[in-house]
Each structure stands twice: as structure tokens, then as C-alpha cells.
Structure 1
Amino acid sequence: MSPWRRARPLPSGPAPLFVYGTLQFPEVLIELLGRAPELEPARVLGQRAAVLPDRVYPGLTSANGSVTQGFLLNGLTADEWQILDTFEDDEYELRPIPVHTGNRHTYAWTYAWTDAVTPGEWSAQRFAADHLADYIARSATWRRDLLQGS
């Protein structure tokens, strides 16, 4: 039996993933995937990385006039998509969104939040200072447990 749940349909073929929270940190990606895919700076309009109640990671949600900075992950394998999808909470919905990279406009997949958010903006700098070390350790434990379950 596979340790991966397939609750959400995943992209078929090469497709970029827009990341805006904990997955923008190469150290987290290395723990989850065993490597850090190239991070291409990108932004999305009309969305914000919202603080989530009782969580250290954000959720992307609609917000008029907002711009969220993040990165595109390119070249994810089917297994890597499955790992990331299993890692993401059920309150996320995988959906395509328009993204801007430099002078290029394209579409990418992202995990958008579908539940309650707080008024605050999530800060990557604050997360790095206050939670990143613990989050890296938790990600490593999560991956080890996933592989032991397979």
C-alpha cells in the first residue's frame, strides 16, 4: 500500500509549483524531497500569504490589491509532487493561478488555503528567525515516517 494519499488530482507532466511559505526554504525542500529544486522568483497578484490560526505556516488566500512574493519550483517529478501533496494539509486546494516572473506571465499550480485565516500577513523573515530550525527537524521526521510506512 502506498504511503501517499491521492485526495487531490496532481498535475501530469512538467508543471511549476508556486510556493510562498515554508516550501520556499531550500532546507525544508531538502528534508522533504532529498534535494532543493531551483527556486525562480515569482509573484501573484490579488493573493496574500495569510497567517493561519495556531500554525506557523501560511495559507494563500484572495485579497484585492495584494501581491505575494514567492518562487516557482520547476522540474518536480511525479514522486516529488506526491510527497508535497501528502505533506500539505487537507485544507489546501491545489489550483492553477497566474504568476509573474520578471517580464513573463504564466500559470503555475499552488496550494491555496480554503479555511479561516487571520488578518495578519505571514512573514518569511519572522518564520526563519522563530521557527525554521524546528520546522526543518519536523519535516525530516515527517519524511522518515513516510518512508518507513511504505
Structure 2
Amino acid sequence: MACSHRFSIKGRVYPAILPVENKAVSGKVIMGITDEELVILDNFEDVEYVRRSVEISLLDTSEKMLAETYVWSDKDDPDLYGEWDFEEWKKLHMTGFLEMTKDFKEILGEADSTKTRVETYESFYKEDPSSDM
């Protein structure tokens, strides 16, 4: 995705994507997502992200297409820094993050639950606020 950057977020293990000139973000394209699944993704991404349609270029063919992506909602967030590293996340945080998403899925299935994904994350990760994550 051209003109974008994937930032680290202080106190979080997941990234924030924002528009940045002369930068690019690579990732996976997931096809065939249903409207119901998109609602679940919107709920998971919660208030921290806004879903946007963006033009992307496929790496293997250079074909251009429209895709939905989640962009960080606060472009002036003072907690954004550097560049988020997927390989580091995979080594250090993937297992815990997947456990947190299972908790979110269970909460999502509870009809009377109003706990958001951000609240689920914050209750699951009890990190030191002075950490540079």
C-alpha cells in the first residue's frame, strides 16, 4: 500500500497504519470476506481504527485493486513511533495476542456483553506503562 507507514504504538503490541508520503506498507490480501465477517472485523478493530478503501498493488503481478484496510483513527497520536516489526511481534507477542482474540471472540458471542476489543486487550495485557512497546 503506497504512501503509508506502519508505526509502533507505545503500550500496544499491534501496529497503526497512517498515510505517509514516500513510504509503503506490505501485507496480505484476504479475499471472500462476507459482510458478517466484516462487521466482526469492524468490532475487533474498535474505535482505534477506521476502515478505508485503498488502492493496492499486488507484489507478484503489479496488478492494482481496491482493498479495505484499517487506518489508525488518531493521526496526531503522541504514542506512535518508529516502525512496527512483524517478525518481532511474531516472536514476542503472537501467542498472547491470539489468546486475547479468543477472549474477544467469546465475549462477542455473549449477548449481554458490552466489553469492547480495546477493553479486552487492556484487561488481557497488563503491561508496564513505562514500557516502550
TM-score range relative to shorter protein: 0.7 to 0.9
Q: Within 5 Å, which residues of 2 pair with 1:76-87? A: 76-87=33-44
Asked if 1:66 is matched to 2:28, the reply is no
Shift of the 146–138 alpha-carbon distance from structure 1 to 2, 3 Å rule, reads same
SS of the residue corresponding to residue 106 of structure 1 reads: strand
Q: Within 5 Å, which residues of 2 pair with 1:57-136? A: 57-101=14-58, 102-115=61-74, 116=77, 117-136=79-98
Aligned residue identity for 1:99: I
Q: Deviations over 1:62-119 (max 9, x none)?
A: 1111111101111011111111110003021111111011320111111101211523
SS of the residue corresponding to residue 57 of structure 2 reads: strand
Question: Among the aligned pairs, what percent are the same residue?
Answer: 25
* In 1: Cα distance, 2:62 partner to 2:2 partner: 14
Contact 2:6–2:17 at 8 Å: present in 1 too? yes
Q: Deviations over 1:18-72 (max 9, x none)?
A: xxxxxxxxxxxxxxxxxxxxxxxxxx11101111121110111011111111011
* In 1: Cα distance, 2:111 partner to 2:94 partner: 25
SS of the residue corresponding to residue 61 of structure 1 reads: strand
- State the structure with more CA Rg: 2
**Aligned residue in 1 for 2:125:** none
* In 2: Cα distance, 1:54 partner to 1:128 partner: 17
Instruction: Note the residue ranges of structure 1 that are not aligned, 5 or more in a row.
Output: 1-43
Root mean square deviation of aligned Cα: 1.3
* Number of aligned positions between the proteins: 107
Moved over 2 A (4+): none
Q: How far apart are residue 138 of structure 1 and its match?
A: 0.7
Asked if 1:138 is matched to 2:100, the reply is yes
Normalising by the residue count of structure 1, what TM-score does the alignment of the two structures yield? 0.67
Which structure features the higher share of strand residues? 1
Q: How far apart are residue 149 of structure 1 and its match?
A: 2.5
Aligned residue identity for 1:113: W
Q: How far apart are residue 144 of structure 1 and its match?
A: 0.9
Normalising by the residue count of structure 2, what TM-score does the alignment of the two structures yield? 0.75
